[in-house]
A and B are shown apart, each in its own frame.
Chain A
Amino acid sequence: MMNRKSAIMIVAAASVAVAAFAIGRLYAPEPQERAEEAQTPDTPQIVNIYTSRHYGVEPVFDSFTEATGIEVRFTTGTDALLRERLKAEGANTPADMYIAVDAGNLWLAAQDGLLAEVDSPTLQENIPAELRDQENRWFGLTQRVRTLMYHPDRVSPEELSTYEALADPQWRGRLIMRPSTHAYTQSLASSLIAAHGPADAREIIQGWVANEPVLIDSDTQILEALAAGQADVAITNHYYLGRILQDNPEFPVRIFWANQEDRGSHVNISGAGITAHAPNRDNAVKLLEWLSGPGQEMFASTNHEFPANPGVAPHPIIAEFGQFSADPLDKAELGRLQADAVKMLDEAGYR
């Protein structure tokens, strides 16, 4: 048996050791920080990024560094918190670029004055007008289509047409949707308000709710539930199916491009802007231009998204989904209408 004295000695010794180690680590400058302090014209160029998009970004940035010699450093985070960090850091921010998913986030960042205008002919040429800010503060880089998914044994594509048609009582108990807490649902609801006005949009949502959809807060799990036969039709982003098909080509779910007879399928974007106080603005603009051109294919394909640049071919798996027409709605509208959309979802009883 160890006596109390030696036990305390052990605790004390361990504490001191851990504390010394921790303090040593806290005060030893990271190699990166040292590079920053010694930033002179001959040291490597850098660009710092705050990004809420992180899946597969590292190889893309590596490839940019290879092409230009500019080193990319990035910190990942959730959109809202990264914006708060930019706001709090103000003129002292180390971040040159803000990469976000969901147009609402880019719109809000621009609203809050966190993004600077970029006057670049390259970006104007590469990115279609409806996928970028009118004042050129942010640019869509990839497109994600939120559309209908169905189980081919239980539904024939002729039965499907639009988002609105899912409010028909024939779909009672046959739908899977994502809860209204998620930005994907909110943005789809915004597009309904833009297309129909608030009153009719609410009626459509109420129709969905009356059909008692199963709610699952993960697009991947929604598709798996659809495949297992829990329901017949779902609404998810297209690339989740692309990802699953990459591993399992036999996966029994088909995609249906919604609203092809009218406004087209609902498209959201991931995109980027240059921060208002970017310390390495020129490098950041170079990166943004590169992402809209040479880097497009890689940036979009790692996540099976559609490139924003119409001249770049999509990943073969999603190319097989076929041509579709996209809702031409200005993506800034999705941000502008988001708060209204959330209130409407609440009022319609969509949880």
Chain B
Amino acid sequence: MSSSEATKGVRRGKRRFDVLPLLPVLIAGLTVLPVAVVVSALFTPSPEVWLHLWRTILPDMLTNTVLLLAGVGTGTLLLGVGLAWLTTTCDFPGRRSFTWLLVLPMAVPAYIMGFIYTAIFDFAGPVQTLIRELGLGIAVPQIRSPAGAILVMTLVLYPYVYLLARAGFEEQSGTAFEAARSLGAGRSRLFFRLALPLARPSIAAGVALALMEALADFATVRHFNFPTMSDGILRVWHGLMDLQAASEMAGLLAIFALVLLLAEKRSRSRRAYHQSKGRRPGIPAQRLSGWRGIAATALCSVVLIAAFGLPLAQLIHWATRELAVLTPGTFAVYARLAANSLTLSAAAALLTVALALLMISLSRLKGSRVSGYATRLVTIGYSIPGAVIAVGILILLAAIDRAANTLAVSWLNVTPGLILTGSLVGLIYAYGVRFMAVAYSGVESSMDKISPNTVLAGRALGARPLRLTLKIKLPLMLPGIIAAAILVFVDVMKELPITVVLRPMGYDTLAVWVWQMSSESLWTATALPALAIVLAGLLPIRLLLRIGTAHR
């Protein structure tokens, strides 16, 4: 094999064929393979299905998808960046708590949020019922509408932008601010001319993640009668029973997402976002006094209540009914489910962030163009509905298992059975495929901002690459790395289709329980496992953010 030759080459010190730049390509390849399985469906198109779709529902779906992306993009950008700026650079009553509380809405699975919002604001819900009973005659806007879908998706997805934008602001140096301020720049000028451009890689990464998540969603939009492309993919698969045509649609979706990502990347490729921070303090926090402080607190509160307080209250309300009928044995079951969820989430977060770091650092060692492009491919899987990716992974794992079995039978005459399919190793691999985009975007946006001067200075002082990475790059990137880890962690906590189809026999997680109850329309019964997801996610989020802030 070429890789072993290469290793020998390195050992002999010849360095003619270096294996290191190949490693990121290898990791990227493993990540992209299941996506490629899905996208390859495009080579054998099903024209009659496409014709049918084009004549009937496809135009609506395309319009809806564009509308959803525009709405969620604008919404998450405004909320995410605004709140991040407020909590990083301003001081107001409750700021310390809001800093981490504002991350929590992402722990509520979006389709649960969609159900809760329709349950509360629909005709039969408490709000409209109360209005009718009091005879107020206030017209409540229809919640099952495009606006309803965009609102709910924005509330669930803004934390992606918030977390990464915060990291982007935190990584900035306060010195530049002092300099700009001494030159007479006002607060808003500082924001628009200095902080925002410097944080752009992080913000773009956050918005891209939110958009890809919105693109892949099909369960939430259904509550709002708002069929998007992903909804269409599932419809073609389950309804027309045509997985081939569904994969073709998914392939198109992935290419669409890739074009968007490359366009964004290209648009900032000619600019530099370097910053040197070192031990100097970050952007100084400005104390907001009087009504401005109150306004800031109020704004954070409103968002927190809409995105977290309201769903939490509804879940607790439902859970109290469930708690009344719980037996002591149920707690043991929940403890096991929570342990499974936490284990999977932690393992996936560690794996993806570590691999993303490795991939990005190595692909930049020699500015290798090939590996640079190859690694960027890892992000496209995130735009495809998880259920479709799950099929790609399934096909791949099963093929490996089959090959292993064939070999084992012919060489050793034993049948090992399924090794990867339905195993935890296979499951973690699948999470890697699905969420590498999240880790990659988070880490890359931080790496983008490290000034080459810092690195050159370190190298000039004789630091070896490893030491350079550990002592200089990692500390500078820590906020971004932590944000990425939190995102992957919470994403895996609530991940559904992949967990459902690839887990070992009888191995359940909290999200699986939420899904089981919700798919039977037993919404009150989803409350306990859904609350458990939120609670189980609470501690790691708090811990990781604390490490991030302590580092400041």
Contacts and interface: CB of A to CB of B under 8 A. Distances in A.
Contacts, number: 187
B405 A92 contact: yes
B235 interface: yes
A94 B113 CA distance: 35
B428 A225 contact: no
Nearest to B522: A55
A4 B240 contact: no
Contact of A181 (B52, B56, B235, B474): B235
A342 B501 contact: no
Contacts of B401: 89, 92
A78 interface: yes
B346 A18 contact: yes
A315 B525 CA distance: 22
Taking chain A's interface residues, is the majority helix, strand, or loop, or is none over half, making it mixed?
Answer: helix
A258 interface: no
B418 A89 contact: yes
A51 to B, nearest CB: 10
Nearest to A229: B123
A225 B124 contact: yes
Nearest to B548: A7
Interface string A2-37: 101001101100110011011101100010110000
Interface string A194-233: 0000000000000000000001111111001101111000
A18 B350 contact: yes
Contact of B225 (A1, A8, A228, A351): A351
A54 B520 contact: yes
Contacts of A82: 501
Interface residues of B, number: 78
Contact of A78 (B144, B222, B497, B523): B497
Contact of A228 (B123, B397, B424): B123
Contact of B422 (A89, A225, A343): A89
A240 B523 CA distance: 12
B501 A84 contact: yes
B422 A22 contact: no
B453 interface: no
The interface centre, meaning the residue of A7, A338, A351 with most chain B CB atoms within 10 A of its CB, is A7
A113 to B, nearest CB: 15
Contacts of B124: 221, 224-225, 227-228, 230
Contacts of A230: 123-124
Contacts of B60: 351
Contact of A73 (B239, B398, B506): B506
Contact of A4 (B394, B475, B522): B475
Contacts of B503: 75
Interface in B500-552: 500-508, 512, 516, 519-523, 543, 547, 550-551
A130 interface: no
21 contacts: A1-B550, A4-B551, A11-B478, A11-B482, A18-B346, A23-B347, A25-B343, A26-B428, A73-B505, A74-B505, A78-B500, A84-B390, A84-B394, A89-B422, A92-B402, A183-B239, A221-B118, A225-B122, A225-B124, A240-B521, A342-B235
Top 10 A-B residue pairs of the complex, sorted by shortest distance between their CB atoms: A88-B398, A228-B124, A346-B56, A22-B347, A342-B239, A230-B123, A81-B501, A2-B550, A224-B124, A7-B551
Given A26-B424, A94-B422, A338-B239, 12 more contacts: A14-B543, A22-B347, A73-B505, A78-B500, A81-B391, A88-B394, A88-B421, A215-B225, A216-B122, A217-B223, A218-B223, A228-B124
